[in-house]
Amino acid sequence: MKIRLISLLGFMLMTAVTQACSSPQTPQAQIPTTASPAGVSSDQGTLVIRANGEDFVRQGFTSKDGWKITFDNVYVTLAAVTAYQTEPPYDAQADAELKVKQQVSLDQPQTVDLAAGDATAEPVLVGEVTAPAGRYNALSWKMPKATTGEANGYALMLVGTATKGGQSLPFVLKVDEELGYQCGEFVGEQRKGTLKAGDKADLEATFHFDHLFGDAKTPPTDDLNKQALGFQPLANLAKDGKVDVDVATLKQSLSAEDFRKFQAILPSLGHVGEGHCKETTLAKN
Amino acid sequence: MSKQQIQWRRRWLSLGGRWALPGLLGVAIMGLAERSLAHGVVMQYQTTQAVSVQAKYDSGDPFANAQVTVYAPDSDQPWSKGTTDNNGVFTFTPDDSKPGTWQVKVRSAGHGDVANIPVSSGTQQLATVSGGNGYTPLQKGVMAASVIWGCVGTALFFLRRKA
């Protein structure tokens, strides 16, 4: 009797185990795991803001109309420089709303010379700011008129020499139009703007002066060259072997079409690497 | 025939003598379950959502043969690299186990742009179509009750008083 009962219990146990073991063999739909969203850490690091005129400014270049241009100084004044963590990522070309999760700004306006240093110089330091860790995927800045220094009274001032066919023309181009740029993600060889706690990350305000003069290395049919002013219209304004012009002079002396081109180029000077920006100051005026 | 079926058959052969009936009953139940699994056709399919990016100049001309770098969310390391085709098109399939904003960077000769593409965890799921070998809770309940009732009946058979 006892053996029979043990046998019965063993059989029931085996049956139960069999059923239990068969269950995991039933295929189950696999639900992908959800990654935790990127959060803003309370820890901080240092954001380094730089300004870059690229090799066009540091090494010179040839304009679309054949003038070899070199720069002694390229002064820009940057103010209200602000780095943002945005979500969704800000897209300047889509002109979408800037939805800010976090932002930090440099305190003081700063006039920098993009042509400082030699042909291989690093982009110019504008300032550093302590910031919460996170991904800074947008940058904005204003370009007011400088209040001191060589560029006093101008938001942008280009000083250099243009050479063509044995003719060499020193030039000074002074822009007192105040500008502002609002940009999204830096577009370049490397990503920028990922700040880890206790670490440094850099962002860059980039200026594309080939938009103004054109680039002989780019086909004449390229939009860049079709929209660029070139240097020849400025060379035509030379007096005593030198070009020294401001916006008022250009308005007065350039053809209506060339002045329109010049004005249309100003909003496109500001970039983040190769990423385009939205001009915010002229557009309001 | 699966390897698992062979193992079950070996176990049945080890039983015998006075335990032959309960052993046979147990193997029959186990074999039934296994046979159901063995005959079921299991098919898996994946629906993937490829992302196609087309890059153009402002003029509308295609951004052809440009360098493309794809970044998964929360990583500065490229997830994939490639080039656009002659129409400025690049296609990739994001790993939706990494939901968030994927970024595609396209660059060439001083021009460039990024596209930010939201990818949710629901865009790709590994789903399974079973060929009838899965059991509903009701079916499992009936099976368990049948087994228990069979056990009770068997016990009563052995415990019956002989006349």
Residue A263 has pLDDT above 50, yes or no: yes
At CA A193, angle to CA A188 and CA A199, rounded to 5?
Answer: 130
The whole-angstrom distance between A190's CA and the closest CA on chain B is 8
Residue of A34, A39, A64, A72 lying closest to A229 (CA atoms):
A64
pLDDT at site A22:
42
Nearest CA in chain A to B137: A23
Instruction: Flag the least confident range among A2-6, A112-116, A151-155, A247-251.
Output: A2-6
CA distance A130 to B83: 38
A7 CB neighbours in chain B (<8 A) are: 19, 22
Residues 6 or more apart whose Cβ sits within 8 Å of residue A52: A114, A123, A124, A204, A205, A206, A207
Q: Read off the pLDDT of each residue in A147-175 and give the average, rounded to a whole number.
A: 97
Radius of gyration of chain B (CA): 30
In a domain, A199, yes or no: yes
The whole-angstrom distance between A242's CA and the closest CA on chain B is 31
Residue A18 has pLDDT above 50, yes or no: no
Q: Are A116 and A126 in contact (CB under 8 A)?
A: no
The whole-angstrom distance between B29's CA and the closest CA on chain A is 8
CA distance A35 to A254: 58
The beta-carbon contacts of A147-156 under 8 Å, at least 24 apart in sequence, are A147/A109, A148/A111, A149/A75, A149/A111, A150/A73, A150/A75, A151/A75, A151/A77, A151/A111, A154/A75, A154/A246, A155/A76, A155/A77, A155/A179, A156/A74, A156/A75, A156/A76, A156/A77, A156/A269
Q: Read off the pLDDT of each residue in A124-135 and give the average, rounded to a whole number.
A: 96
- Strand (E) or helix (H) holding A265: helix A256-265
Q: How confident is the model at residue A32 (pLDDT cuts 50, 70, 90)?
A: very low
Residue A217 has pLDDT above 70, yes or no: yes
The whole-angstrom distance between B25's CA and the closest CA on chain A is 9
Q: Give ipTM to 2 decimals.
A: 0.72
Alpha helices in chain B (DSSP H): 3-14, 20-39, 137-159
**Of A11, A32, A276, which has the smallest distance from its Cβ to B96's Cβ?**
A32
Is B105 an 8 Å CB contact of chain A?
yes
Better pLDDT: B59 or A99: A99
Is A17 an 8 Å CB contact of chain B?
no
Is B81 an 8 Å CB contact of chain A?
no
Is B49 an 8 Å CB contact of chain A?
no
A204 phi, psi to nearest 5 deg: -140, 130
Better pLDDT: B28 or A66: A66
Task: Say yes or no for a CB contact (<8 Å) between B114 and A29.
Answer: no
Task: Say yes or no for a CB contact (<8 Å) between B158 and A218.
Answer: no
Nearest CA in chain B to A193: B76
Residues 6 or more apart whose Cβ sits within 8 Å of residue A284: none
Query: Per the structure block, which two tokens stand in for B110?
Result: 């001083």
Query: What percentage of chain A has pLDDT greater than the value 90?
Result: 75
**Of A91, A191, A208, which has the smallest distance from its Cβ to B76's Cβ?**
A191
Which part of chain B has CATH 2.60.40.10? 46-126
The whole-angstrom distance between A200's CA and the closest CA on chain B is 15
Going by CATH, does the domain composed of B46-126 fall within 3.60.110.10?
Answer: no
Nearest CA in chain A to B112: A274
Is A94 an 8 Å CB contact of chain B?
no
pLDDT at site B33:
46
In a domain, A78, yes or no: yes
| CA distances from residue B80 to A82, A257, B42, B53, B72 in whole angstroms, order as listed | 31, 45, 33, 14, 9
Better pLDDT: A139 or B53: A139
Is A95 an 8 Å CB contact of chain B?
no
Q: Are A155 and A143 in contact (CB under 8 A)?
A: yes
Better pLDDT: A221 or B31: A221
pLDDT at site A5:
54
Residue A276 has pLDDT above 70, yes or no: yes
Burial class (CB in 10 A: 0-12, 13-18, 19+), A94: exposed
Determine if the peptide bond prior to B99 is cis (ω within 30°): no
Q: Are A154 and A223 in contact (CB under 8 A)?
A: no
In a domain, A100, yes or no: yes
Q: Read off the pLDDT of each residue in A194-218 and give the average, rounded to a whole number.
A: 96
The whole-angstrom distance between B140's CA and the closest CA on chain A is 9
Best probe of the A interface among B18, B116, B126, by most A CBs < 10 A, is: B116
DSSP A49: E
Q: What is the pLDDT of residues B4-63, one digit of tens each?
A: 222 222 222 222 333 434 443 443 444 444 444 456 777 767 666 788 999 888 778 888
Q: Which residues 126-165 on chain A approach chain B with CB closer than 8 angstroms?
A: 135
Helix (H, G, I), strand (E, B) or coil at A269: coil
**Of B44, B107, B143, which has the smallest distance from its Cβ to A274's Cβ?**
B107
CA distance A133 to A201: 10
Q: Which domain holds residue A115?
A: 44-284
Task: Say yes or no for a CB contact (<8 Å) between A8 and B109.
Answer: no
**Of A37, A91, A274, which has the smallest distance from its Cβ to B111's Cβ?**
A274
CA distance A180 to A284: 10
B19 CB neighbours in chain A (<8 A) are: 7
Best probe of the A interface among B3, B113, B133, by most A CBs < 10 A, is: B113
pLDDT at site B82:
95
Q: What is the pLDDT of residues B108-149, one digit of tens each?
A: 877 888 998 888 875 443 333 333 344 556 666 777 777 788
The whole-angstrom distance between A98's CA and the closest CA on chain B is 14
pTM as predicted: 0.71
Radius of gyration of chain A (CA): 30
